[in-house]
Every structure is written in structure tokens, then in C-alpha cells.
Amino acid sequence: MKLLIVGGVAGGASAAARARRLSEEAEIILFERGPDVSFANCGLPYYAGGRIAQRDKLLVTTPDRLRARFNLDVRTSSSVESIDREKKVVRVRNTVNGQVSSESYDKLILAPGAAPITPSIPGIDLPGIYTLRNLQDVDRIKSSLNAGVRHAVVVGAGFIGLELVENLVELGISTTIVELQDQVLPPLDKEMTTPIVNLLRSKGVNVILGQCAEAIEIAADGLQVHLKSGQPLIAQMVILGIGVRPENKLAVDAGLETGVRGAIRVNEFLQTSDPDIYAAGDAIEVRDFVLESPTMIPLAGPANRQGRMAADNVFGRKLRYRGSQGTVIVGVCNLTAAATGASEKSLRRADRRFRKIYIHPAHHAGYYPGAEQMVLKLLFDPQSGKILGAQAVGGLGVDKRIDVIAVAIQAGLTVFDLEQVELAYAPQYGSAKDPINMAGFVAAGLIRGDHPQCNVEDVLSIPVEQRPFLLDVRTPTEFSAGQIPGAINISVDELRSRLSEVPRDQQIAVYCQVGQRGYLATRILRQHGFNAANIGGGYKTYRLYCE
């Protein structure tokens, strides 16, 4: 067996190591266009900002170590330029000396990754404009930072964009972030990103949404970025974090099938349209595990596992890749935002029926010091209760809850299963009724009909005169600190004795702070014959929509 692997980072390096473990005899050649293999690209923003102090920390392994330990033929600075599928030969160009050679294969694994998108706007090639994909990129950014940057513009508010902003802010650089969509962190639903925008603004970041850069030019004090709105931004550094496109040229030129956004199409065994060629990592099309549609989900975790699995299948294993869920996470200055599975947006786009709930729990028992708040949104099938997706934003414990739901989605669990999840509880770790259980209770109550809920955005979208009777069941103190316009205040503890103040001929939309008292009030009202529903997630969810 002679196995060639194109790409030496996440997917490629995993494939190579796995292949060697499976076969001591195989000839395994790993081609990497750049000078480094297996570097930690997810660490680049933190090296740029200095939190990761040493550059060599980012080198998970080195070509020499791969050679010594795995007996691999590692060829860096080697760009695979073309594949002759008939002859089963690739043509390789040495990027240092330009020499071209060819190498035959029995099997080929493509792990070329994805490249940052650069928009074709005037001035895009000016010095001071960067993308961030590899160590050479971060070296350029760091030397620019060392030369002195007072103002920076980050274009794109996805994961890398936000991570860069966090690091720039920590360096004391006045930072603007520009995002084409009307929200940061587009994989999440917009309302869930409100806390991130609030946090960024509180840190002095200039957050500009619904805008894009139309041109960049040299100005007296660095670069001037022109937005579509006409607003000029001055910066000494512009970093593009707009997104990535699959490195598909090699595959396309070789006539391999591609799919969504040009990603290399593979079957469930990670085999391309040529059975001797496998592909893994950011460049491939995958099946969306929840929506069951083809998509592209460039993430380090899946890339590593795909690389490993591609090698397994090269050696005849027939392992099936189950698809990707898009489990993602980002940290922005003590705030964590994470998601798994489908979002409300993606469900709407796919025309899938769903219901949603919001809860606002503390990450551990409130009576133990240090409890941090989060908001958790759960999306599920309105009939079966099958979990479709979740998003959470807050402090500690967000990662844990999203990981728990990620496994629940993988296992096909329902909200009824979440009611009975038995998680580890001591007061410094969780709650006797964990946020996961609470989400299950609320969602199951909704499906069972115990707990009719309405969405705050639906209520607000109704013309004022046609809106349901808005009943705020919090305390007068909470009410006077801020309420949904038009609401009447009767605290839940007084509701039973003040039922006469609630109209019988009108729909009642009840709310409290987070949804729990509203739930009890809804139960009280419905049992007394009122047509009541609870505004899911209460006033805190309203604020997510209205801030």
C-alpha cells in the first residue's frame, strides 16, 4: 500500500498517524504546502494577543517528530498541483525551489483545508490587511502589532473575528468590528448574541452590524476602510475574518465531484467520487446530522476525526461518518457562547417544524457563592420532542450544558429524556435540578400542554391594539425597574386573590423574570378558565430581543 496524504494539519496529520498505526508496511507520504505540520490553528488568535506566549506551543508536532515516531515521509513546502487519476500519480511542486516531481499512489487522502475568503474590493492587497490561517499569518500580525497599532478593524464577526477582537481589546487597541449580517456570531440566532454585543460595547468595541467594507485605501494615519454606509474607519491594521472557502482546486481540476459551496463531495465512508481518493477536514461536504442535508462545517474536531476515519477506511475498515452537528464554542472576555445542532434560523430555512424554549439558570446552586448566569435556548420537534439544537450564552458551565445536549442530539434523545437526565450535583458544580433538567421540564410541559407558551417576538409583532392582555407577575419592585410596554402587574403570590382584575374575554400573555413564576401563574389562570399562555423565558428573553 502506498498512501499519499495532501495536507499536514488537522485532518491530514490525523490520517497519517492513524494509517501508520494500522500498517507498519505501508509507504505513507504526507505533503504539506506550508513549512509546518499539525499546528494549532485554533490557538492563533491567542498567540497574536500574547495569552499563548511561546510560538512553539502552537506546534503540536513537527515533521521530525512525525518521521521519528510514525516513520512517515513528511514533505513540507510541497504543494500537490494535480492528480492524474487514471495513472494514479500526483504532481508535486516544491514551493521553495520550484522543483516539480511526481509520486504514484494506491490510495490518496485529500485534507487541503479551507482558506480565508478575501473580498474583491479596491485596496484589499494593501499592506496592513491580514487574514489568519497559519503561523506565517500570525507572525505578520504580531510584527505589525509590535510596530504599534492604535486602531484595528476586524471584518467579520464569526468565531475568529470575535476571538481576535477579544485579544486586540486585551492589548489595549481601539477596535471596530464590522459584520455584514445584522448580528455577531451568525451560527447562533440573533437574540442569543445580544449579551455578546452588549459585552463588546461595554469593553469599548465599536460594533457595526449590517455593514461591509467596500474599499480600503491608504490614509495619513494608516488605512481608511470605507463602509457601504459611507462611514470611514481609520486603522493601522485590518484583519479579515469573513469566513472560509474549501481548498477545492486540486479536487475540481481532477474532476472529483463537489457540492455545497464547492466542498469536496464524499460518501459516508469519506470516499470521493473516485473510490481510491478519500477526503477529510474543512474542505469536504458533510451531512448535517440534524437537518440531514449536505453542508460544509469546517471545525477542528470533525476534521481530526474524519482524518482518522479516512485512514481506517483506506485500510478497508468501512467506518461510517455519521455527519456533523456543528457543535461550536467561543470565549469572549469571560463570556462563553456555544451551540450544537440546528439553529432556529436553519430550521426555518429548512422549513422544519420546531418549538423552542428559553431558560435563564445559574450555572450552579444559587446558594453557593460564585454562581454565574446563562441563557439556554433549546429547539425541539413539536410532536416527538426530539432535540434539534441548543444554544447557550453566559459564564461558567455553558460548555458543559452544550456538550451534554450535543450527546443527547447524537443519541436522538427527546426533551422527555432531558427531564430524567442524572447529572453530577454538588453545589459548586450544578443544581439538584440542573439547567438540563429544567430545559426538559419546560419543553416537555409545553408539548404535554401543561404549559402553553408564546414567543415574545410573536407577541411583539402583533399590532398593539390586538395584543393579548400582558400580565407581569413579578413583584412591584421588579416591575417598576422595567417591563414590557402595556403590561399590568399582579404578582404571582397575589394572583389567586386578584383574579377579578384579569379579563376573561381576552387572551392573556403572562410573564415573569425568567419564566418560572409565569409558568405557575399560567397554570393558575388556565385552571380558573382563563385563556393564558406564558411568555417563554420571561422578561430576560424579552430583553434579548429588545436590546
Q: Is the CB of 24 or the CB of 86 nearer to a second copy? A: 24
Shortest Å, Cβ 497 to a second copy: 10
Q: Is 417 in the site for a second copy (CB under 8 A)?
A: yes
CA–CA dist 164, 331 (Å, integer): 11
Contact stretch for a second copy (CB under 8 A) within 138-146, 184-192, 209-217, 422-430: 422-430
Q: Is 293 in the site for a second copy (CB under 8 A)?
A: no
Q: Is the CB of 94 or the CB of 475 nearer to a second copy? A: 475
Name residues contacting a second copy, limited to 156-175 (CB under 8 A): 159, 163
Contact stretch for a second copy (CB under 8 A) within 91-99, 212-220, 377-385, 514-522: 514-522
Contact between 255 and 86 (Cβ < 8 Å): no
Binding mask 111-150 for a second copy (x = CB under 8 A): ----------------------------------------
Strand order in the sheet with 232-235: 213-219, 222-227, 232-235
Q: Is 305 in the site for a second copy (CB under 8 A)?
A: yes
Q: How many CA atoms lie within 13 A of 321 on its CB side?
A: 32
CA–CA dist 176, 152 (Å, integer): 6
Q: Is the CB of 56 or the CB of 125 nearer to a second copy? A: 56
Shortest Å, Cβ 365 to a second copy: 7
Name residues contacting a second copy, limited to 333-392 (CB under 8 A): 336, 338, 340, 365, 367-369
User: Known catalytic residue: 546?
Assistant: no
Q: Is 465 in the site for a second copy (CB under 8 A)?
A: no
Cell 404578582, residue located: 491
Question: 341: which residues sit within 8 A by CB, 6+ positions away?
Answer: 289, 290, 325, 326, 327, 379, 387, 388, 389, 390, 405, 406, 409
E strand or H helix at 207, and its extent?
Answer: strand 206-209
Q: Is 408 in the site for a second copy (CB under 8 A)?
A: yes
Total site size for a second copy, rule CB under 8 A: 89
Question: 172: which residues sit within 8 A by CB, 6+ positions away?
Answer: none
Shortest Å, Cβ 22 to a second copy: 8
Shortest Å, Cβ 221 to a second copy: 34
Q: Is the CB of 112 or the CB of 281 nearer to a second copy? A: 281
Cell 434523545, residue located: 413
Shortest Å, Cβ 494 to a second copy: 9
Question: How far lies 342's CA from each of 327, 345, 350, in Å?
Answer: 10, 8, 10
Name residues contacting a second copy, limited to 42-101 (CB under 8 A): 42-43, 46, 51-53, 57-58, 60, 68-71
Q: Which member of 234, 454, 520, 546 binds a second copy (CB under 8 A)?
A: 520
Return the DSSP state at 499.
Answer: G
CA quadruple 460, 201, 198, 168: dihedral sign: positive
Q: Is the CB of 83 or the CB of 342 nearer to a second copy? A: 342
Q: Is 528 in the site for a second copy (CB under 8 A)?
A: yes
Strand order in the sheet with 27-31: 73-75, 27-31, 2-6, 107-110, 277-279
Q: Which member of 215, 300, 333, 350 binds a second copy (CB under 8 A)?
A: 300
Dig out the grid coordinates for 154 from the structure: 476586524
Q: Is the CB of 225 or the CB of 330 nearer to a second copy? A: 330
Q: Is the CB of 350 or the CB of 520 nearer to a second copy? A: 520
Shortest Å, Cβ 247 to a second copy: 19
Q: Is 331 in the site for a second copy (CB under 8 A)?
A: yes
Residue 274: CB atoms within 10 A of its CB come to: 17
Question: 316: which residues sit within 8 A by CB, 6+ positions away?
Answer: none
Question: How far lies 508's CA from each of 429, 471, 497, 514, in Å?
Answer: 38, 7, 17, 17
Q: Is 493 in the site for a second copy (CB under 8 A)?
A: yes
Name residues contacting a second copy, limited to 15-34 (CB under 8 A): 20-25
To 5 degrees, how large is the angle CA 225–CA 226–CA 227? 115
Name residues contacting a second copy, limited to 215-254 (CB under 8 A): none
Q: Is the CB of 193 or the CB of 224 nearer to a second copy? A: 193
Shortest Å, Cβ 400 to a second copy: 4
Q: Is 534 in the site for a second copy (CB under 8 A)?
A: no
Question: How far lies 253's CA from each of 81, 87, 150, 284, in Å?
Answer: 9, 15, 44, 15
Q: Is the CB of 487 or the CB of 492 nearer to a second copy? A: 492
Contact stretch for a second copy (CB under 8 A) within 36-44, 76-84, 210-218, 243-251: 36-44
Shortest Å, Cβ 417 to a second copy: 7
Q: Is 524 in the site for a second copy (CB under 8 A)?
A: yes
Question: How far lies 504's CA from each of 321, 397, 494, 508, 531, in Å?
Answer: 55, 42, 18, 9, 8
Question: 15: which residues sit within 8 A by CB, 6+ positions away?
Answer: 5, 109, 111, 280, 307, 308, 310, 311, 314
CA–CA dist 353, 357 (Å, integer): 14
Which residues are annotated as catalytic?
Answer: 42
